[in-house]
Amino acid sequence: MLLSRSSSQQAKAAPEAKNGMADLQARVEKMVHKAFWDEALEALNSQDPSIQIHRLHRLHADIYEAIKGLLPPGHRVLSVLSAPYPPPSVSPLHTTIALLRDTLSALKERCAPIRDEKIDQIVSELDRAPPYSSEDSLHPEQRAEHQAIASRVIIDSIQALISLAQEMKSDLTQTVLGVMTEQQIRTIVTEQARIRERELILTLMSKDTVKEAWIAWINEVKAHANTLELPVWIARLLDALGANIPVAANIIQYISQPSDSAESRPPPPPNNLPPPLFFCAPDLFRLQNHLQALVIVASLRSLVNIPQAPHTSHSPSPTSNDLTHRLWTLLETEIKPEHEAGASAGETKIVNLADEVLRARRQARADGGDASALSSDEGSRTSAPSPLEDEAKVRAAVERTLRAEDPVFALLQKRVLEWLARALAAPSPPPPVAPERMRTGRDGVGHGRTKSGAGHGRSDSLEGRTDSLEDVPTGLPPPPKGFEDAVLAKALRDAVRMLQTQCVQWVRGVWGDVVEA
């Protein structure tokens, strides 16, 4: 039914694969960290002073990187840690312990009170180290034992200190964010996300590769797709959204490997998006389902001849409003990111949709409407069909209407895409990157919105955004024929807002030098 059906198996397998990769990555990271600290401990236990001093110097550099943002430039501790050579000492281990004490003292002057206890614990750990004694005063066994204890104390303390530094940085970030307005926070987060997204793509491929992939993609635009002087890439994007194949974001073909040849690479999936749209792909997939759900509701409404409400010629019938609302509610669950389709969910959904159409037809008949005609050959019948025959015809019509090749479905989908093109050609509002006020919460206008689903880390989900007149682009054309119902008209406005804020404006902000070139 919806495009999500065609990718249900991949969707079911994806969480398992993702969890497996996350577990594997966690195990590998744990092994690497353990190997790193084991090697450091072994070096500090070495009887060769050059090995010991060299490893301590590298540990000094690690501490410096961890705390350099927490102490002012030129601080004495930072100067010692960043020195090209470690300070001369008759006992490098005890000199390092003294340096760790100085570092903790400097951090305690600047940390939040909640971190004092952890600093005191690290200082107590340093107290476990044996005091310095000259080599002549110790037996070789004692000397080796003292060195082992001091080495272990240093390694454990450095690990705890690095963890403390990360917590202090988090505290500092929270403090800074606490005095910033939501507008300032949103602006900073958005800018960082844009920079990060571009960096991630360009670490995988060159900018020239991105441009070549983009040009090849927009050259596939249909000849009749751009009659409103839209940017070519937006017309091409509407082509992709209007396809009956789910959008995909496979960038493997653009990542060159020395051992790869063009013949050895797997072909890209159909309706594949170029790299600049990679991070928009989940939102575009949900938008694709959103548009198809719109067409399905409008198609099913055409199966019911609902009488006009008697009180005014411009008000829709309560039956019409109720049918549209109930159909849209059923399909909206398919659009939500957290929705996982079961094996029989598609059949169950078709049955539910058919039940709603039958219910509306019975209500329309009770209201005095003619809800019996489903096709041209039914009008030639001399007698009304039996209830069972009528129900069978309705269910068959519902199944037929849900197919993309159905003439009514194709016509309504064409109208939606044409309307989207006209809407995108209309003047658009400024990008809602930093709104003057948040529109959620108890006193906001976002009441009744659907639950937000999991996204790609970049933006709100399609369902999680608020809906207000300030969010809707101005100058939108009236809804196309078949979509005049208030529920469908609002869903159309939502589609424009989704496309503008989550793709068009975002891609221009990240890849403006590519898409507008």
HEC sequence for 161-205? HHHHHHHHHHHHHHHHHHCCCHHHHHHHHHHHHHHHHHHHHHHHC
Of residues 353, 287, 247, 237, the one with CA closest to residue 1? 353
Of residues 21, 46, 505, the one with CA closest to residue 280? 505
How many CB atoms are closer than 10 A to CB 453? 17
Q: How confident is the model at residue 464 (pLDDT cuts 50, 70, 90)?
A: very low
The pLDDT value given to residue 451: 36
Encode burial over 229-239: b for 16+ CB neighbours within 10 A, e otherwise: ebbebbbbbbb
Q: Give yes or no for a contact between 189 and 197, defined as CB atoms under 8 angstroms apart.
A: no
Cα 446 to chain center, whole Å? 21
Rounded to whole angstroms, how far apart are CA atoms 496 and 502? 10
Q: Give yes or no for a contact between 272 and 236, defined as CB atoms under 8 angstroms apart.
A: no
Of residues 119, 107, 36, the one with CA closest to residue 68? 107
Span 38-51, mean pLDDT? 91
The pLDDT value given to residue 284: 94
Answer with the residue of higher pLDDT: 483 or 337.
483
How many CB atoms are closer than 10 A to CB 140? 9
> What does the H/E/C string look like for 8-63?
HHHHHHHHHHHHHHHHHHHHHHHHHHHHHHHHHHHHHCCCCHHHHHHHHHHHHHHH
The pLDDT value given to residue 369: 56
Residue reference for tokens 């003439």: 407
Q: How many helices (H) and strands (E) does the chain have?
A: 17, 0
Rounded to whole angstroms, how far apart are CA atoms 40 and 51? 10
Report if pTM > 0.75: no
The pLDDT value given to residue 260: 53
User: Which 3 state secondary structure label does DSSP give 488?
Assistant: helix
Domain boundaries, the chain: 45-179, 278-515
Token pair recorded at residue 225: 């797709």
Q: Give yes or no for a contact between 290 and 335, defined as CB atoms under 8 angstroms apart.
A: yes
Rounded to whole angstroms, how far apart are CA atoms 7 and 113? 51
Give residue-wise pLDDT tens across range 207-263.
Answer: 999 999 999 999 988 765 556 678 899 999 999 999 989 999 888 888 865 555 555
The pLDDT value given to residue 179: 82
Give residue-wise pLDDT tens across range 136-145.
Answer: 666 788 888 8
C-alpha dihedral (139, 141, 147, 149), degrees to nearest 10: -120
Residue 113 predicted with pLDDT over 60:
yes
Rounded to whole angstroms, how far apart are CA atoms 326 and 320? 10
The pLDDT value given to residue 23: 78
Q: Which of 33-37, 234-238, 429-433 has the lowest mean pLDDT?
A: 429-433
Rounded to whole angstroms, how far apart are CA atoms 265 and 295? 37
Token pair recorded at residue 476: 């939108």
Q: Which amino acid is at 404?
A: A
Q: Which of 36-50, 173-187, 259-273, 484-498 has the lowest mean pLDDT?
A: 259-273
Q: Give yes or no for a contact between 4 and 293, defined as CB atoms under 8 angstroms apart.
A: no
Give residue-wise pLDDT tens across range 158-203.
Answer: 999 999 999 999 988 888 777 888 888 888 888 989 999 999 999 9
Q: Which of 10-14, 287-291, 390-394 has the lowest mean pLDDT?
A: 10-14
Residue 463 predicted with pLDDT over 60:
no
Query: Quick one: CA dihedral 430, 436, 438, 444, positive or negative?
Result: negative
445 contact partners, CB below 8 Å, separation of at least 6: 439, 466, 467, 468
Q: What is the DSSP letter of 341?
A: -
Q: Which amino acid is at 182?
A: E
Encode burial over 305-334: b for 16+ CB neighbours within 10 A, e otherwise: ebeebeeeeeebbebbbebbebbbebbbeb
Residue 91 CB burial class (10 angstroms; 0-12, 13-18, ≥19)? middle
Span 310-319, mean pLDDT? 49
Give residue-wise pLDDT tens across range 316-353.
Answer: 555 566 888 999 988 887 777 655 444 445 555 788 88
Q: How confident is the model at residue 106 (pLDDT cuts 50, 70, 90)?
A: very high
